[in-house]
Amino acid sequence: MQEQELQALLSQLSPEEKIGQLVQLPASFQEEGNATGPAMQMGLTQEDLALAGSYLGLIGAKKLRKLQETYMARHPHHIPLLFMADIINGYRTVFPIPLAQSCMFDPALVEACASIAAKETAASGVHVTFSPMADLSRDARWGRVMEGGGEDPFVSGQTAAAMVRGYQGKDIRDKGKIGACLKHFAGYGAPEGGRDYNNAELSERTLREDYLPAYRAAVDAGCALVMPSFNTLDRVPSAANAWLLKDILRKEMGFSGMVISDWSAVAELIPHGIARDEKEAAYLALRAGVDMDMSSPVYIKNLKALVEAGKIPLQWIDEAVLRVLTLKNKLGLFENPFKDLDENEESALHLCEAHRQAARKCAEKSFVLLKNEGSLLPLAEPGETAWIGPYVDTQMLNGAWSIFADDGDTLSLRSALALHEKTKNAPTAVGCAIADPDSPVQGFMSAVSLSGVDEAQALREAAALAQKAKNVVLALGEHRECSGEAASRGTLTLPKCQLKLLDSIAEVNPNIIVLLFTGRPLDIRAVQEKAKAILLCWLPGTEGASAAVRTVLGEASPSGRLSMAFPYCVGQLPLHYNHLRTGRPYSGDYKAGRFGSKYQDIPNDPLYPFGFGLTYTEFAYGPVTLSQSSIKKGGGLTASVTVTNVGKRPGEETVQLYLRDECGSVARPVRTLKAFEQVTLKPGESRRVSFRIDESMLRFYDIHMAYTSEPGDFTVFIGPDSRTEKGARFTLKEE
Ligand code: GLC
């Protein structure tokens, strides 16, 4: 439809029809779904339902075809429904959680996975996904870290932008493409206390410097929608924050797409205490720029009266409706309301071999090798290895948001072992349950059954197996329902039953390789102490078990890098590598001296830092050289280093470039990641890796909040992780 035809359609709509386009109903209205929050108490009329413009959480080609046909036939102007859903890390073929994907430091592969997710989703008739989540987070107590790109603005932004490109391609009208909804704007990843939905206390400078860049990268990649966050920022909930949604998102970032609230977030302006009633909530949200009200009755029950009372100009509604109609038009729904919906394509694409292969490749590349004492991995003699632990038997390897997938499509480790020639007779034992019997874990989209394991017997069997084996692969981790939405934790250790199993195994066998399955960084000091090798597998998805077996056997080589640090313990949180120096910088030894910015009882440094990850070989870095020792505004230089594979196996190294501004008109971080490049080298092979450093990379929000660079000295670090000290200095000259 042409722009003027959309305008003409808008002018023909009744007020009720216009307002209906601004409402998204939950799946529960069409089926026994799992509505949360006030959605079930909406009390809408049948007419309200008939005029609604969108549904979320409904999937399946057959069902959506029927629903679209029914709705369009009944709608006075036959406007097609918009179907949206949470496709966070794949649809039926499940990929590693986004936090794991960000550890690949490989935007092209992230994009490829998102493209597959879009194909499977589009064939099922869904038009938009509520992804990517670009909420920078420095606090692993917050369960939603699993959905984002970690603690660094650059990696988070690269990951989010790659997902937008993968979902949307060049045109969302194209076959197999869907709209991407960036979320949760903004600062949702910084809740006080790591408690979900809590206030985010960020200065404007910190918001702009650290938290907005990842969202901006997704907007620059062309995301079709944006979802404001639940949290307050400067004490204003995002759904009512005109500064955020209009001044920053639309004016500064140039976003022109559709803004959809989070689930019942418009209604929640009342419990936030900034709206006395639903009428005021509707007024505040529409004025701030929320176009569509997800799963709350506020818009559909109050906007008409507000317009009639002259409290809201009809123009506000028309502008919002036009953005909704424009999105439907960009998807081509007026010409083809079913877009790519295709029952045959749906069954052909879902979990097809090519998609499974891609999921396995992504899982292998997202694993992070944290420890490998004596190069115990890859296993030389897999036949003499026992595979033990609660993650040996479970098929729950998908992240908590894999709500449309079936765990039954996922191999367990035990099944993957049985399929591999070298491990088909490997002895296995569960050893203990995944969670403690008194664990408070509740299900997100499904009930959690903490399977009754006879702990004493399981422990005995496991220890007996371990005693006879040369090596033990110990598969441990947090329950997948312990991360995701509304899954904040005040402690980060493994369940007591698993720690007990670890101790029992360590008593009888020193050669322990831990496979760690988790949706968030954990406190794994006990694991580090007792295991010779630790392979972080995150929640790796449909093919995660096969990927883990191949990696342990050396058929795949780990190359992942931590996009979010593993803390020494929960007391360090929030934690990030690009911190400020303070006037009393940490000396590196918390026991040395008193008057430093440190703790008395724990180090400042994380157990495993941002950017860290081992490989099955070793790399050596030469000195950092610069093409020149100074640059001017608008200028730049080249920084280079030679990387050599000094080990015995081929490997992939993620070479990271950090910059430090030695002095500024405001305090500057100790270093900030500005670029990375991956090189694959054979044993003995060297590669010269060069990075372009432009003056624009030196810019920041100065004392006057101007985004600019300031003359002075800068240090370039190039190395394998955020601790590297190999550097060289250059100067940005006065104009
Ligand atoms: C949830 C989440 C959001 C999700 C939406 C729809 O509350 O905050 O990320 O996309 O509701 O399910």
Entry field: residues in the chain:
735
pLDDT of residue 31: 47
Q: Which of 24, 196, 230, 263 to mutate to test the pocket of ligand 1 (most atoms within 8 A of CB)?
A: 263
Instruction: Identify the residue whose C-alpha is closest to ligand 1 atom 8.
Output: 262
| 36 CA: nearest ligand 1 atom | 7
Instruction: Identify the residue whose C-alpha is closest to ligand 1 atom 10.
Output: 130
Q: Is the pLDDT of residue 36 over 60?
A: no
CA 47 – CA 82 distance, rounded (Å): 18
**DSSP for residue 224:** S
Confidence class for position 596, pLDDT limits 50, 70, 90:
very high
Active site residues: 262
pLDDT digits (tens, 9 = 90+) for 62-88: 999 999 999 999 999 999 999 999 999
Q: Which of 129, 293, 485 to mutate to test the pocket of ligand 1 (most atoms within 8 A of CB)?
A: 485
pLDDT digits (tens, 9 = 90+) for 479-518: 999 999 999 999 999 999 999 999 999 999 999 999 999 9
CA 630 – CA 177 distance, rounded (Å): 46
**DSSP for residue 574:** S
CA 86 – CA 183 distance, rounded (Å): 11
Instruction: Identify the residue whose C-alpha is closest to ligand 1 atom 11.
Output: 263
| End-to-end Cα spacing for the chain | 52
Q: Are 722 and 577 in contact (CB under 8 A)?
A: yes
Query: Where does 334-486 have alpha helices with state H?
Result: 343-349, 353-366, 413-419, 455-468
Q: Could you tell me the distance, in angstroms and rounded to a whole number, from the CA of residue 371 to the centre of ligand 1?
A: 36
Q: Are 89 and 355 in contact (CB under 8 A)?
A: no
Q: Which of 86, 133, 402 to mutate to test the pocket of ligand 1 (most atoms within 8 A of CB)?
A: 86
CA 394 – CA 583 distance, rounded (Å): 50
Q: Could you tell me the distance, in angstroms and rounded to a whole number, from the CA of residue 131 to the centre of ligand 1?
A: 10
Residue with tokens 């036939």, as numbered in its chain:
73
pLDDT of residue 735: 80
Calculate the CA 309 to chain-centre distance. Answer: 43
CATH T-level topology, domain 619-732 = Immunoglobulin-like (2.60.40)
Quick one: residue 60, left, alpha or beta (phi over 0 = left, psi -120 to 50 = alpha)?
left
Mapping DSSP to helix (H, G, I), strand (E, B) and coil, where does residue 553 land? helix
CA angle 159, 189, 719 (to 5 degrees): 50
Mapping DSSP to helix (H, G, I), strand (E, B) and coil, where does residue 129 land? strand
Q: Could you tell me the distance, in angstroms and rounded to a whole number, from the CA of residue 79 to the centre of ligand 1?
A: 25
Least confident of 3-7, 298-302, 446-450, 476-480: 446-450
pLDDT digits (tens, 9 = 90+) for 130-147: 999 999 999 999 999 999
Q: Could you tell me the distance, in angstroms and rounded to a whole number, from the CA of residue 37 to the centre of ligand 1?
A: 11
Q: Are 483 and 146 in contact (CB under 8 A)?
A: yes
pLDDT of residue 481: 94
Instruction: Identify the residue whose C-alpha is closest to ligand 1 atom 1.
Output: 263
Q: Is the pLDDT of residue 350 over 80?
A: yes
Q: Are 201 and 195 in contact (CB under 8 A)?
A: no
Q: Could you tell me the distance, in angstroms and rounded to a whole number, from the CA of residue 262 to the centre of ligand 1?
A: 6
Summary mean pLDDT of the chain: 96
Q: Tell me how far CA of residue 21 lies from CA of 48, 76, 106, 173, 257, in angstroms.
A: 10, 12, 39, 20, 15
| Residue 14 phi, psi dihedral angles, 5° rounding | -75, 165
Q: Could you tell me the distance, in angstroms and rounded to a whole number, from the CA of residue 265 to the centre of ligand 1?
A: 10
CA 18 – CA 7 distance, rounded (Å): 12
Q: Which of 88, 185, 262, 266 to mutate to test the pocket of ligand 1 (most atoms within 8 A of CB)?
A: 262
Confidence class for position 29, pLDDT limits 50, 70, 90:
confident
Pairing of strands 179-185, 225-228: parallel
Query: What is the mean predicted confidence (pLDDT) over 312-333?
Result: 98
Residues with CB under 6 A from ligand 1: 56, 86, 130, 183, 262-263, 485
| 183 CA: nearest ligand 1 atom | 9
Residue from 188, 161, 172 nearest 128 by CA: 172
Q: Could you tell me the distance, in angstroms and rounded to a whole number, from the CA of residue 263 to the centre of ligand 1?
A: 6
Instruction: Identify the residue whose C-alpha is closest to ligand 1 atom 12.
Output: 86
3-state SS record for 663-719? CCCCCCECCEEEEEEEEEECCCCEEEEEEEEEHHHHCEECCCCCEECCCEEEEEEEE
Confidence class for position 446, pLDDT limits 50, 70, 90:
low
pLDDT digits (tens, 9 = 90+) for 667-710: 999 999 999 999 999 999 999 999 999 999 999 999 999 999 99
Q: Are 231 and 265 in contact (CB under 8 A)?
A: no
Q: Torsion over CA of 130, 135, 140 and 141, rounded to 10 degrees?
A: -70
Q: What is the pTM of this model?
A: 0.97
| 131 CA: nearest ligand 1 atom | 10
Residue from 321, 324, 274, 268 nearest 298 by CA: 268
Instruction: Identify the residue whose C-alpha is closest to ligand 1 atom 3.
Output: 262
CA 345 – CA 240 distance, rounded (Å): 41
CA 53 – CA 399 distance, rounded (Å): 30
Q: Are 615 and 369 in contact (CB under 8 A)?
A: yes
Query: What is the mean predicted confidence (pLDDT) over 456-472?
Result: 97
Instruction: Identify the residue whose C-alpha is closest to ligand 1 atom 6.
Output: 263
| 181 CA: nearest ligand 1 atom | 10
CA 305 – CA 299 distance, rounded (Å): 10
Q: Are 479 and 432 in contact (CB under 8 A)?
A: no
